[in-house]
């Protein structure tokens, strides 16, 4: 077969001195492709095209290099699963290598739809012109479907844009998926009629593989207006397939559960920007939920800024998406988040929305007011 | 609703002094369940049943504690995706917490089939009574389907038990899945007729979510005798669903691509034993491929022993599986692996099988001979 000559680039941070970094870069070229020592590959076409190629190796700081490695688009076969494998499969098991970012040529990017809505589409869908989008979560796990629906009703009366399930709400007997979704969607619709608002309910469709689309279709039929999924649990491609399903066609919120290990160690794993920004976008999320700096988790402000950049960086046909800082945020933090992320952000406050005052609807209005103030 | 009182246990390693470890343990009980501060949960039933519970907190060494935390089986709803979420979802994003092992009561373990074959079943399936199982890989990526089939033919003439695709073989134009599988399965069958052997071909079905079962069914129809999948890429539950599909009913080999980040940092992530042993088993793998100590990757001997333990530890109805050391192994390493893992192991040698001598079939026979010698 003939190769097009089109290549995509993966940028890695490599730890070590120049010799060690060069060894790592050269190793990457084989490990992520032919998985054989150089000497065992004699086919000239494979050597010329299938081998990864070190395009540049640049010193960033002492014992920290950046390698740009290119791969033929043909080795991906147009599939997200194999793209992820080339970018990070075996290399995940070697120390001192972190995937920083990806650069896809149009020929490869166009294999993927990316977010169905993206920033612009989601604003239109929700009817929110310019202010930050507001999001909250139904919790705690253990409430029954009626109790969750009562909560959803209050939150929709408060005009929160997206009222999502907590990501631990699955299909437990205390609030089975079907009953919960039907009741919560109905409650949000009822509140919308009263407020003439456009709040949407986003149930969690993180589910066993055979049920993801089934639950999403059920949710759509019963009036859900968006969906929540944890791609770290279901696999990124399950989220992509959900986005691509024209029968569903709802905005997708991506939740970071189990993905913390990829960003736990600054010398390995995947950068915040690439994992939560670029890969989420390739896999069709319209909003990337992440733990904001200064909450219950350990992201730094720089991590969060980089992540927001990954949600926005140009990627050919792949639309930008909403960074969605969360994880223990409170109303008091809104002005700071507004200053840090600007207006193109989705603000997610869960428990913090309830503790502000006993009047939940009033707290929601205050959330909106704060979010519109610079 | 009523709770059964049945609880499962997750054992975590917590880093820090006693105060800090206790804070982490208590935090886990809320973070993995209600995701609300204690004071915001007033429902007595939720407090009594849904909250995680610290059963014991034990000092292991200076600044290293082990916490046994129990959760009500009801919060899992019988789904592997939600079990993974409770065990490790948000906690993956907090430092100094590592999931060490899980203890499931029969009521929860029985929700899962586990491996369809397991050690005993796989030995019967392959007709191998007592010696180690032998495995190798078709590579490099870039060969066409005929070239890969020629290789498969040689390896089957050499009586390797399982001849698997390299996990980078997906559906690329240079060796499209359908053509590759048909040709390789035919080549292995042809060699089996000559040797009266029982080698099987295991194609890689790591694929976009909508195609996994489709490709597995195609492979089965065309004579594949096992399947390879990367649950780190597809999601663990996709592997489980594959195992559970009675139309397929083939042995499953699990490949660790992208899972390295979970074990990169000894103070966070998931233990080798739990990730590659216990979780692979719950998700239906019959063999767990992993990078052996002293190969191209950085697992230590202790890591590998712990991993093999996780493949064997009693787990109610969930069968033990074959640890499958790999990742740059050579024929010279066989006696050492045999000594370390005993006979209940699957030995996987890829490139190393080709470099021993120019006669590939002879190298395979030598592999078998070495594996049978203690």
Q: Any catalytic annotation for residue B139?
A: yes
Q: CA of A57 to nearest chain B CA: how many angstroms apart?
A: 22
Phi/psi of residue A183, nearest 5 degrees: -70, -45
Say if B42 is an interface residue toward chain A (CB within 8 Å).
no
pLDDT at B200 (0 to 100): 98
Strands (E), A32-179: 53-61, 64-72, 97-103, 133-138, 162-165
Cβ–Cβ < 8 Å for A185, A201: yes
Residue A374 reports pLDDT greater than 80 = no
Say if B128 is an interface residue toward chain A (CB within 8 Å).
no
pLDDT at A284 (0 to 100): 98
pLDDT tens sequence across A158-174: 999 999 999 999 999 99
When scoring B261, B267, B268 by the number of chain A Cβ atoms within 10 A, the one with the most, hence best to mutate, is: B261
Mean pLDDT along residues A198-216: 98
DSSP annotation string for A36-57: S-GGG---HHIIIIIS-EEEEE
Q: Any catalytic annotation for residue A255?
A: yes
Q: CA of A45 to nearest chain B CA: how many angstroms apart?
A: 8
* Run of H or E including B53: strand B53-61
Say if A317 is an interface residue toward chain B (CB within 8 Å).
no
Sign of CA dihedral B34, B39, B44, B49: positive
Say if A38 is an interface residue toward chain B (CB within 8 Å).
no
Q: CA of B134 to nearest chain A CA: how many angstroms apart?
A: 19
Q: Of the candidates B39, B210, B261, which has its C-beta nearest A92's C-beta?
A: B261
HEC per residue, B298-319: CCCHHHHHHHHHHHHCCCCCCC
pLDDT at B122 (0 to 100): 98
Residue of A nearest to B171 (CA): A77
Task: Using only the alpha carbons of chain B, give its radius of gyration.
Answer: 22
From chain B, pick out residues whose CB is under 8 angstroms from the CB of A50: 140-142
Residue A8 reports pLDDT greater than 80 = yes
Nearest to A201 by CA among A246, A167, A156, A240: A156
Rounded Cα gap, residues A133 and A110, in angstroms: 28
pLDDT at B297 (0 to 100): 84
Say if B206 is an interface residue toward chain A (CB within 8 Å).
yes
Q: Helix, strand, or coil here: B335?
A: helix
Rounded Cα gap, residues B305 and B213, in angstroms: 33
Sign of CA dihedral B268, B269, B274, B276: negative
B49, B119, B167, B255: the catalytic one is B255
Residue window 134-163, chain A: list those with CB within 8 Å of chain B: 137, 139-144
* pLDDT category of residue A373 using cuts at 50, 70 and 90: confident
Say if B230 is an interface residue toward chain A (CB within 8 Å).
yes
pLDDT at B298 (0 to 100): 85
* B265 alpha-carbon distance from chain centroid: 19
Residue of B nearest to A49 (CA): B142
pLDDT tens sequence across A85-134: 999 999 999 999 999 999 999 999 999 999 999 999 999 999 999 999 99
Residue of B nearest to A260 (CA): B93
Residue A40 reports pLDDT greater than 90 = yes
Rounded Cα gap, residues A273 and A258, in angstroms: 17
Q: Of the candidates B1, B79, B139, which has its C-beta nearest A35's C-beta?
A: B139
Sign of CA dihedral A338, A161, A320, A181: positive
By mean pLDDT, which of A296-300, A332-336, B140-144, B270-274 is the weakest? A296-300
Give B45-52's long-range contacts (Cβ < 8 A, gap of 24+).
B45/A142, B45/B3, B46/A140, B46/A141, B46/A142, B46/A143, B48/B3, B49/A142, B49/B3, B49/B74, B50/A140, B50/A141, B50/A142, B50/B75, B52/B28
Percent with pLDDT over 90 in chain A? 96
Residue A296 reports pLDDT greater than 90 = no
DSSP structure class, residue A92: G
pLDDT at B355 (0 to 100): 84
Per-chain mean pLDDT for chain A: 97
Q: Of the candidates A139, A230, A241, which has its C-beta nearest B210's C-beta?
A: A241
pLDDT at B1 (0 to 100): 79
Q: CA of A190 to nearest chain B CA: how many angstroms apart?
A: 26
pLDDT at A362 (0 to 100): 97
Rounded Cα gap, residues B217 and A59, in angstroms: 49
Q: What are the per-10-residue average pLDDT scores of chain B (374 residues)?
A: 95 97 97 95 96 98 98 98 98 96 98 98 97 98 98 98 98 98 98 98 98 98 98 98 98 98 95 98 98 90 98 98 96 95 97 91 97 85
Mean pLDDT along residues A33-45: 95
How many CB atoms are closer than 10 A to CB B142?
27
Cβ–Cβ < 8 Å for A340, A304: yes
| Helix/strand/coil percentages in chain A, nearest 5 | 45, 20, 35
pTM for the model: 0.98
Say if A167 is an interface residue toward chain B (CB within 8 Å).
yes
pLDDT at A20 (0 to 100): 97
């Amino acid at each position: 077969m003939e190769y097009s000559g089109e290549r995509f680039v993966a940028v890695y941070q490599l730890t070590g001195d120049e010799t060690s970094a060069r060894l790592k870069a050269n190793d990457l070229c084989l490990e992520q492709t032919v998985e054989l020592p150089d000497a065992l590959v004699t086919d000239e076409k494979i050597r010329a095209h299938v081998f990864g190629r070190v395009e540049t190796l640049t010193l960033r700081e002492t014992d920290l290099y950046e390698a740009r490695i290119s791969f033929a688009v043909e080795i991906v076969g147009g599939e997200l699963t194999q793209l992820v494998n080339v970018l990070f499969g075996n290399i995940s098991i070697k120390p001192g290598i972190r995937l920083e970012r990806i650069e896809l040529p149009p020929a490869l990017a166009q294999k993927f739809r990316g977010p169905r809505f993206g920033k612009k589409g989601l604003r239109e869908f929700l009817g929110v012109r310019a202010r930050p989008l507001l999001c909250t979560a139904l919790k705690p796990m253990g409430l029954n479907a009626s109790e969750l629906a009562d909560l959803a009703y209050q939150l929709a009366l408060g005009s929160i844009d997206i009222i999502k399930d907590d990501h631990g709400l699955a299909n437990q007997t205390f609030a089975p998926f079907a009953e919960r979704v039907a009741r919560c969607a109905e409650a949000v619709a009822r509140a919308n009629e009263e407020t003439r608002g456009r709040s949407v309910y986003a149930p969690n469709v993180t589910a066993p593989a055979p049920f993801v689309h089934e639950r999403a279709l059920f949710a759509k039929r019963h009036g859900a207006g968006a969906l929540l999924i944890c791609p770290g649990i279901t696999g990124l491609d399950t989220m992509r397939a959900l986005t691509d399903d024209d029968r569903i066609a709802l905005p997708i919120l991506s939740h970071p559960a189990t993905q913390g290990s990829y960003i736990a160690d600054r010398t390995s794993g995947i950068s915040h920007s690439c994992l939560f920004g670029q890969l989420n976008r390739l896999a069709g999320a319209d909003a990337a939920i992440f733990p904001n700096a200064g909450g219950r988790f350990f992201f730094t402000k720089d991590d969060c800024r980089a992540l927001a950049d990954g949600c926005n960086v140009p990627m050919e046909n792949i639309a930008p998406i909403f960074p969605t800082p969360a994880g223990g945020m409170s109303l008091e933090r809104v002005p700071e988040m507004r200053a840090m992320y600007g207006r193109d952000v989705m603000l997610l406050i869960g428990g913090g929305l309830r503790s502000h005052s006993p009047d939940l609807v009033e707290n929601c209005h205050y959330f909106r007011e704060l979010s519109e103030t610079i």
